[in-house]
Amino acid sequence: MFDWAEDPWARGAYSWIPVGGLDAPVALATPLAGRLFFAGEATDTAGDPGTVHGAMTTGERAAGEIIAALWGRPSSPTKTRF
């Protein structure tokens, strides 16, 4: 069990898409300089934005992007399954 409300970084927060923000998940999921990769429900672009589903799906996607970057290959924008 984890007390998210006491976490200094999360403070119990979760993501939501505001009016006019349908492109936000793509922008939030975009790696920076091939070195900084993002995951979490707010970065979901595969249709599973729920807290747990979004975190797991995007974690797999970000891991695939990292592996692709380390191996010098372009990553797939879809979910990566290992």
pLDDT digit string, tens, across residues 2-52: 777 788 877 766 777 889 988 999 999 999 998 999 998 899 988 776 778
The pLDDT tens digits for 50-82 are: 778 888 999 999 999 999 999 987 665 554 444
Residue 62: phi and psi, rounded to 5, are: -65, -40
Cα separation, 53 vs 49, in Å, equals: 7
Q: Which residue type occupies 43?
A: T
In this predicted structure, what is the pLDDT of residue 81? 44
Q: What is the pTM of this model?
A: 0.70
